[in-house]
Structure 1
Amino acid sequence: MAHIDLEALRKRIRSMAFERGTPEQVALWREDVAEARANLVIEDMTPSDDEDAMFAMMLDEGVPPSLMSSIVLGLYKPGTGQIAA
């Protein structure tokens, strides 16, 4: 994956309307994401530092894990790694 512009992504996420998680929910989600990441490492599909930072930022913004992939797919132009306008 190309370099991820975290600040541009954060700005777009902050402008989105969705129900953000409570601090308690986010704490549980962090555990779930850590477990999922560990499984990826076992499968030899280790996320890049940029990908780890992106998912950490999304959790900081209260994004539910069930929305993360659809947000990423909706914001990035296919094959470019650039946020769509």
Structure 2
Amino acid sequence: MTKLDVEAIRAQVRALDFVAGTPAEVAIWREDDEDSRANLAIEGMVLDHDEEALFDMLRDEGVPPPLAARIILKLLDHPDADPSLPIAPLSAKAS
């Protein structure tokens, strides 16, 4: 990923209409994230500081994993991204 403005992305996430996870759910999601990050490290694909901050912010905001995946796809302007999701792709911010 490119340089991320995590606080700008946080503002967009907060504007979304979604049901945040409960504290217990978020705790489980954080554990799952730790496992995923460990697996990435084993594969030599360590997240950089901005990527870590983005995923931590999504958990801080209680974003459920399926929505978090949709947000990431939209940020990356991936062909499978949901065009109706009101998140600005990173490529749009770079122009």
TM range, smaller chain: 0.7 to 0.9
Q: CA RMSD in A?
A: 1.8
In structure 2, C-alpha distance between the alignment counterparts of 1:15 and 1:34, rounded to whole Å = 27
**Offset of residue 76 of structure 1:** 4.6
What is the SS of the residue equivalent to 1:2? coil
What is the SS of the residue equivalent to 1:39? helix
2:77 matches 1:77: no
Identical-residue share of aligned pairs (%): 45
Q: Is the Cα–Cα contact under 8 Å of residues 30 and 59 in structure 1 kept in the other structure?
A: yes
Normalised by the length of structure 2, the TM-score is: 0.78
5+ long unaligned stretches in structure 1: none
2:57 matches 1:61: no
**Offset of residue 81 of structure 1:** 7.4
Deviation beyond 4 Å, 4+ runs, structure 1? none
Q: Map 1:1-12 to 2 at 5 A.
A: 1-12=1-12
Normalised by the length of structure 1, the TM-score is: 0.86
Structure with bigger RCO (C-alpha 8 Å, 6+ apart): 1
What is the SS of the residue equivalent to 1:40? helix
Instruction: Please tell me the residue identity of whatever aligns with 1:60.
Output: D
Q: How many residues align?
A: 82
5+ long unaligned stretches in structure 2: 75-86
Instruction: Please tell me the residue identity of whatever aligns with 2:24.
Output: E
Q: Deviations over 1:15-51 (max 9, x none)?
A: 0011110011101100000100000000111111100
In structure 2, C-alpha distance between the alignment counterparts of 1:6 and 1:77, rounded to whole Å = 13
Instruction: Please tell me the residue identity of whatever aligns with 1:77.
Output: P
